[in-house]
Amino acid sequence: MSRRGIMSEALKKEIARKMGVDDLVARDGWGAVSSRNCGRVVQVAIGMAEDSLSKQAL
């Protein structure tokens, strides 16, 4: 069974750009990004989702 990504590639690339690892991703792919930085990408995405949900609740 294939797994569908929850985060869009555009969102991951936007976060990678903000973190300064976008050149590495473009050149070598996500496999070259350290697990620490991948974890940070997830943390940023979760924060963005939480902010979005809190704004919707208002």
Task: Give the model confidence (pLDDT) of 1-46 as tens digits.
Answer: 456 678 888 999 999 999 999 999 999 999 999 999 999 999 999 9
Residue 3 confidence (pLDDT):
63
Report yes or no on 1 lying in a domain: no
Q: What is the pTM of this model?
A: 0.77
Domain count, the chain: 1
d(CA 29, CA 47): 24
Contact 48, 56 (CB under 8 A): no
User: Is residue 4 one of the residues assigned to a domain?
Assistant: no
Residue 36 lies in domain: 9-57
Is residue 53 domain-resident? yes
The per-residue pLDDT for 2 is 57
Q: 3 in a domain, yes or no?
A: no
| d(C-alpha 54, C-alpha 40), whole Å | 21
C-alpha–C-alpha distance, residues 43 and 58, integer Å: 23
Helix (H) / strand (E) containing 26: helix 22-28
Query: Does 26 fall in a domain?
Result: yes
Looking at residue 46, its amino acid is I
16 inside domain:
yes
